[in-house]
Amino acid sequence: MQERLVRLFEDHFGHPPAAVVGVAGDGSDRSYRRLLSDDGPSAIGAVGPDHEENRAFISFTRSFRSIELPVPELYATDEDNGVYLMEDLGDSTLFAVLDEARDAEGGRFPASMTSVYRDVIAWLPRFQVEGHRVVDYTAAYPHAEFDRRSITWDLNYFKYHFLKLAHVPFHEARLERDFETLTAVLLGVSREFFLYRDFQSRNVMLTANGPRFIDYQGGRRGALPYDVASLLYDAKAAIPEAVRDELLQHYLEQLESLIAVDREEFMTAYRGFVVARIAQALGAYGYRGFFERKPRFLRSVPFAARNLAGILSEGLPAEMPELERVFGRIADTWGSGSEASGSQPRLTVYVRSFSYRRGYPEDRSGHGGGHVFDCRAIPNPGREPEFKLLTGLDERVADHLRRMREAGEFLDHTSRLTMAQVDEYRRREFDHLSVSYGCTGGQHRSVYFAERLAEKLEGSFPDVRVVLEHRERHMWPAAPGG
């Protein structure tokens, strides 16, 4: 695919790129390359495995540029092979600029960002109203309208990929009734507008010529409040309530310059779309975080939970008691997370024992790496008849290993290395470290060392979560302590 992008670049610019480098993508299956010239323009090459999604992006881009909306210029396409070349808008997303400015303000939302958000949100009505008049909805993917079916998909996404995977208890029948109530609220307003679908801070590029907009390929026909709710309740942006109110009023003023607006009707629907958008976002975090094992997506959950707490304090837009209870559980469980409160993120250290006969432990964090210590140089207590049916959890085995000079030295070396790593990970605000001890059977030595390390970590780092797991426990010939 890179060769095809190089050919597109050469056909468009008249010379091959001097270099091709990777560009960090989003949570989708698309990938991106930056194609560089020695002294000329650069371009972004996209590789999209979904041809219908590519078609939607290309079609919408051409429509938006026809009315001078600030989206990237499309240089060249090869739709048969799923690649296209477009304008390079740089690397400064609205979220990245906000994050940097917030760091400089000690974690507070910077006052200077309000004007930036006003510039961004002023463009939204033009996409929704003027864009609606020119886009070809037959190119929309995966659905042409945010209708009852789309709403049902989003709410089920929340139920199955967040509530169930995060083990949030709920009464299914009562929750479904509340979903029907919410759906009625969302369908109670006109859907004759372009719905951007993912209008959030990571999809806005800040350039010298003002904001530019990307990732609208999921757009479809829909209602006005959805997109403004998406931007203002963008989880990790954590926009203060007073700033949200100011920006919402600015949006409505810009919208009223294009069409007549019934503000009371809009605000009722808006509250419903805030609920729906947060639910959809939680479903996405759950799918990427729990199911695909990409824990970075779960870092947004505490921020979404804080948003839910604010919504609950004002009341839901309709009577939805089970959904209210579910939101309350999420707010109580996740809303006090360290990421949301602005304190240092909590590091989790997974300590495991395992048998080399069954291979290395699976990395379930999505990070990879970590320490794996081989205990097999230590004499095996399992070779002695009195210990054969015992494990490293038994005091007799522990005493036996404690008396071994080489076992003490091994534990000291591995503990010191791990403790230094934990100290550094805490300082750099990492969220995960894996430490595994392996031996022949995963029953004696590895279990003993994993237990001792977990004790040391818990005693030394009260702010670190330690998760201890003995992988081969179900294969031990005798119950621990027997």
What is the third-level CATH fold of 2-87? Phosphorylase Kinase; domain 1 (3.30.200)
Q: Would you say how long the chain is, in residues?
A: 482
Two tokens, residue 393: 């959890």
pLDDT at 336: 62
Query: What pLDDT was estimated at residue 479?
Result: 41
Backbone angles phi, psi at 221, to 5 degrees: -70, 135
Residue 9 burial (CB count, 10 A): 25
pLDDT of residue 38: 86
Q: For tokens 């995977």, name the residue.
A: 165
Q: How many CB atoms lie under 10 A from the CB of residue 26? A: 12
What distance in Å separates the CA atoms of residue 473 and residue 480, rounded to the nearest whole number?
A: 9
> Residue 102 has what pLDDT?
87
- Other beta carbons less than 10 A from residue 51's beta carbon: 13
Residues of the chain with pLDDT under 50: 338-345, 478-482
Buried b (16+ CB within 10 A) or exposed e, 365-392: bebeebeebebeebeebbeeeebeebbb
d(CA 361, CA 352): 8
User: According to the model, what pLDDT value does residue 480 have?
Assistant: 38
Q: Compute the distance between CA of residue 258 and CA of residue 256 in angstroms, rounded to an integer.
A: 5
User: 10 Å Cβ neighbour count for 5?
Assistant: 25
Alpha-carbon distance 450 to 245, whole Å?
52
Buried b (16+ CB within 10 A) or exposed e, 224-260: bbbbbbbbbbbbbbbbeeebbeebbebbbebbeeeee
Q: Note the pTM of the prediction, 2 decimals.
A: 0.70
The answer to whether residues 440 and 357 touch, using CB atoms and an 8 Å cutoff, is yes
Per-residue pLDDT tens digits for 47-72? 988 999 999 999 999 999 999 999 99
CA atoms within 13 A on the CB side of 120: 29
Question: Around Cβ 68, how many Cβ atoms within 10 Å?
Answer: 9
Strand order in the sheet with 371-374: 371-374, 432-439, 348-355, 465-470
Q: Is the four-CA dihedral 47, 85, 93, 256 of positive or negative sign?
A: negative
Q: Which residue has the tokens 């930036």?
A: 116
CA 289 to chain centre: 7
Residues contacting residue 374 through CB under 8 Å, at least 6 positions apart: 356, 438, 439
Helix axes 301-314, 321-334, angle to 10 degrees: 130
Residue whose C-alpha is closest to residue 121's, from 51, 210, 50: 210
DSSP reduced 3-state for 310: helix
How many other C-beta atoms are found inside a 10 Å radius of the C-beta of residue 167? 8
pLDDT at 25: 59
- Looking at the DSSP assignment, which residues form a beta bridge with residue 164? none
- The pLDDT tens digits of the residues spanning 215-252 come to 999 999 999 999 999 999 998 898 999 999 999 999 99
The domain locations on the chain are 2-87, 94-341, 348-475
Task: Collapse the DSSP code of 42 into the 3-class scheme (helix H, G, I; strand E, B; otherwise coil) and give the result.
Answer: coil
Domain 94-341: top CATH class: alpha beta
Of the candidates 307, 314, 298, 308, the one whose C-alpha atom is nearest the C-alpha of residue 328 is 308
Q: How far apart are CA 220 and CA 143, in angstroms?
A: 7
